[in-house]
Amino acid sequence: MDKTPGTSRPVRFRGGGFAPRPLGLVGALVFITIIILWELGSRTGVISALVLPAPSEAYVAFEELVRSGLLWKHLSASLQRLIIGWSSGALLGVLVGVAIALFSFARAGLVPLVSAIFPVPKIALLPLFIIWFGIGEGAKVATILFGTFFPTVIATYSGIDNLDRSLVRMGQSFGLSWFSIVRKIILPGALPAILSGFRISAAVAIILLVAAEMIGAEFGVGAYILMAGSLMATDQLIAGVAMLSCMGLTVAWLISRAEKYLLRWRR
């Protein structure tokens, strides 16, 4: 080997990457920067108050909402619909997804149905839901339920389809019961896919919640936003939108926590 100086050099490092690290502060920094720039823009007149109210004005509107005691009314109405609709939609979705993945008959019969109904905007069906379930809570919850059901079904059965069959054979070779195989091998194996399905279905649920509340509700974040919009109270509108974003962030955070705990076996 030639060892004269000048011809020897370290091997160029080309590994690394493809492994995102958690950088929690960066996300917060992005939000703060945007809000500060926005506020500065409004104060200096670059952003006209007619076009977009300053964040501080939206905050005042939000404080007003807190002081009047209406915040809790709107929020609790929305959260109740969201929780009932999403959890029943997700539960039914997982059950049907498992059935599709495990039984040929369910697969043959239900997959075309899912493909046919999934792309229909559920909000278009709201009038039907109102006839079926009444103008009150029923129709709104049903809208959310249907909206979250389909993405969950698809996430569940494709998660199970992708599972390594050799683990199922292992279970059979040790004489595990059918029920044990489903509960201890198939469901935990599909859990990563099911949880990422939950991420999507939770966002869908918030979208549908607002849409349903805009069509007919006395209380709810969606009703608040609609009211603000019809009064051209853009400060209240922004406050309402910010509440939705906070809901989205909270849900995403909860699912991340669940993933961290439930999927701690992944390297």
Partner 1 sequence: MDLNIQSLGHYYSDLEILRNINLDVPAGQIVAVIGPSGCGKSTLLRMIGGLEQPTSGAVLQVGETPNDSLNPLTYIFQDFALLPWRSVAGNISLVLEDHKLGSAEVDEIIENVLSRTKLGDFRDAFPHQLSGGMKQRVAIARALAVRPAVLLMDEPLSALDSQTHDLLMDDLIDLWMREKFTSVYVTHNLSEAVHLGHKVVVMSRRPGMITEVVDIDLALDTRKDHPELLIEYQQHLWNIMRDEVRAAELELVDG
Residues of the shown chain interacting with partner 1 in the complex, contacts defined by CB under 8 A = 166-167, 169-177, 180, 184-185, 188-189, 191, 263, 265-267
Residue closer to partner 1 (CB basis): 185 or 228: 185
Asked if 259 contacts 110 with a C-beta cutoff of 8 angstroms, the reply is no
Name the minimum Å distance from CB 103 to partner 1. Answer: 21
Give the rounded distance of the alpha carbon of 23 from its chain centre.
21
Residue closer to partner 1 (CB basis): 33 or 162: 162
The token duo for 210 is 């607002």
Phi-psi region of 68 (alpha: psi -120 to 50; beta: other; left: phi over 0): alpha
The pair phi, psi for residue 186, each rounded to 5°, is: -70, -50
Q: Enumerate residues 6+ apart whose C-beta is below 8 A from 247.
A: 78, 79, 82, 206, 221
Name the minimum Å distance from CB 231 to partner 1. Answer: 53
Asked if 86 contacts 148 with a C-beta cutoff of 8 angstroms, the reply is yes
Asked if 54 contacts 38 with a C-beta cutoff of 8 angstroms, the reply is yes
Residue closer to partner 1 (CB basis): 64 or 259: 259
Residue closer to partner 1 (CB basis): 60 or 168: 168
Name the minimum Å distance from CB 168 to partner 1. Answer: 10
Query: For residues 43 and 39, what is the distance between their CA atoms, to the nearest angstrom?
Result: 6
Q: What angle do CA 179, 184, 187 make, to 5 degrees?
A: 90
Name the minimum Å distance from CB 198 to partner 1. Answer: 18
Residue closer to partner 1 (CB basis): 18 or 174: 174
Query: For residues 35 and 30, what is the distance between their CA atoms, to the nearest angstrom?
Result: 9
Question: Which CA distances in Å does 246 have to 80, 215, 260?
Answer: 16, 22, 21
Residue closer to partner 1 (CB basis): 21 or 165: 165
First to last CA, the chain: 40
Residue closer to partner 1 (CB basis): 176 or 244: 176
Name the minimum Å distance from CB 94 to partner 1. Answer: 17
Name the minimum Å distance from CB 175 to partner 1. Answer: 5
Name the minimum Å distance from CB 179 to partner 1. Answer: 9
